[in-house]
Structure 1
Amino acid sequence: MFVYVVVLNLAIEYLPAVLSESFTLSLLTAVLLKVALEVVLRVKGRVVARFRAATTRRARVVAALALWVVAAGSKLVVLWLVDVVFGDAVSLGGFVPVTLLVVALLGSRAGVRRLLGEGQD
């Protein structure tokens, strides 16, 4: 959670489109982002498993389209969730700023897991 808070507050500081009225709201937004991105990663994992298990061309195309929908749609869902929960008090900008934020959050998540030795088989 600490890393999500740091990354989100850096985005608030350096991306003009990303706004939060207070540190408390940025902390709550980080919690919301953490939960939402964990759900997205689980869904993505299932779609990737389905893609790998596909034996026909049609199944692979459907799985690839589903993966694209999850990748693009997740950003829209994050924007919608933040709007519903926080209204005008928090803004993650549009599709491009939220995509940059999500990439930074996922990169920092992977970095922390690697640093702590988690997720290694």
Structure 2
Amino acid sequence: MRVGRWLRAHPSDVVDYFVYVVVLNLAVEHLPRVLSEGFTLSLLTALLLKVALEVVLVVKARVVARFRAAQTPVGKVAAGLLVWVVAAGSKLVVLWLVDLVFGDRVSLGGFLSVTLLVVCLLLSRAGVRRLLDQPGTTTPGSRNGPPARA
């Protein structure tokens, strides 16, 4: 992965960010353990979550590739344990980062609430991406043009 990719926002990254803002603020409103002192802090928290979860997804993809490439039962078990460590550890890392950056001004609750939040973030992101990537729309590298207008 090139460093330049991280410095330029792709339209899907902007959409992801807005989805994260909405989901995070819904969590703040409806989950008593998820707190943010204000909208600006929730915007910054959503940005931190976007960056952290992108890194987690890259790490997870590499671990899953290692799992699939493992030839021996011991290698499969070791890679499977590593997948579990990344899945569980990423939630702890997110909690730690939020605490480090925002202190008491933002709280994502505990392990269960942050797990629920991350699952909702990723499902919402996937749903919005799927919605925006309907047949007949163009995406970079697609072979079909835009639909004809009458």
TM-score range, shorter chain: over 0.9
Residue 39 of structure 1 aligns with which residue? 55
Q: Tell me how large the CA RMSD over aligned residues is.
A: 1.2
Runs of 4+ residues over 3 Å off in structure 1: none
Unaligned runs of 5+ in 2: 1-16, 134-138, 143-150
What residue identity is the alignment partner of 1:72?
A
2:34 to 18, 27, 46: 18
Residue 106 of structure 2 aligns with which residue? 90
Percent of aligned positions that are identical: 78
TM-score w.r.t. the length of structure 1 is: 0.96
RCO (CA 8 Å, sep 6+): is it higher in 1 or 2?
1
TM-superposed CA distance for 1:93, in Å, is 0.3
Unaligned runs of 5+ in 1: none
Residue 72 of structure 2 aligns with which residue? 56
- For residues 84 and 35 of structure 1, the distance between their equivalents in structure 2, rounded to whole angstroms, comes to 15
Residue 104 of structure 1 aligns with which residue? 120
TM-superposed CA distance for 1:109, in Å, is 1.1
Higher helix proportion (structure 1 or 2): 1
Equivalent pairs, count: 119
- For residues 38 and 106 of structure 1, the distance between their equivalents in structure 2, rounded to whole angstroms, comes to 10
TM-superposed CA distance for 1:115, in Å, is 1.5
TM-score w.r.t. the length of structure 2 is: 0.77
